[in-house]
Amino acid sequence: MTKRTLKQKNLVIRRAKVNDCKVISKFTGGQKKDMIKRGEGEIRKNIDNYLVVEHCGKVVGSVGYHYYDNNKAEIISFYVDDDYRKNGLGTGLIYSCLGLILSRGIYFVFTLTTTSNLFSRIGFKKSNWDIFAPVLRKKILKDCNNCLRASGPDDQRCNESLLVFMYS
């Protein structure tokens, strides 16, 4: 399939539904080796924390978020199908996700990503791992131990950047 030029009227960003769990799990599992695999059960349990983007009724991208104590949240499981990239869908998903997080009074958002340029354009800044030690310990126990590439930020094989968004 070739890259698509999309018409906005055919696009919908919405909260994920239970019947989206399978496709979100597919996005996080087989599509990119850099992503943390999230099973359908985990996604279903946290379905209220996921958004999807549809084109003509087909789910072509997703993003999720996870809350930590200390008023911090992480953007997780960000993916847009290769055929639908470079059309603003990823930007729309991230802005929508940020809106939901900020509406809950969480003003400190971070992500670990290989797509740092996109997040930087939205206002995320690269940050030092050390200032996030308590939250990252929880993150590493929850996610990094399941990564195919590395076991955490201290592992030299980790290719993700830590980016932070602080709303003031």
CA distance 123 to 77: 19
Percentage above 90 pLDDT, the chain? 37
Go through the domains of the chain in sequence order and give each one's CATH number.
8-166 (3.40.630.30)
State pTM to two decimals.
0.83
Q: What is the mean pLDDT of the chain?
A: 81
pLDDT in tens, 1-22: 444 555 566 789 999 999 999 9
Percentage above 70 pLDDT, the chain? 73
**For the ranges 13-22, 34-43, 73-82, 118-127, the one whose mean pLDDT is highest:** 13-22
Convert 66-99 to b/e letters by CB count within 10 Å (16 or more is b).
bebeeebbbbbbbbbbeebbebebbebbbebbbe
Between residues 31 and 45, the one the model is more confident about: 45
Can you read off the two tokens belonging to residue 61? 């991208």
Please tell me the predicted confidence (pLDDT) of residue 34: 64
Return the H-helix or E-strand segment holding 139. Answer: helix 133-142
**CA dist list (Å): 148 to 14, 26, 37, 77:** 30, 15, 9, 15
**Which range, of 15-29, 32-46, 150-164, averages the lowest pLDDT?**
150-164
| Residues linked to residue 74 through DSSP beta bridges, in sequence order | 66, 110
pLDDT in tens, 126-151: 887 666 666 666 666 566 666 666 55
CA distance 10 to 89: 12
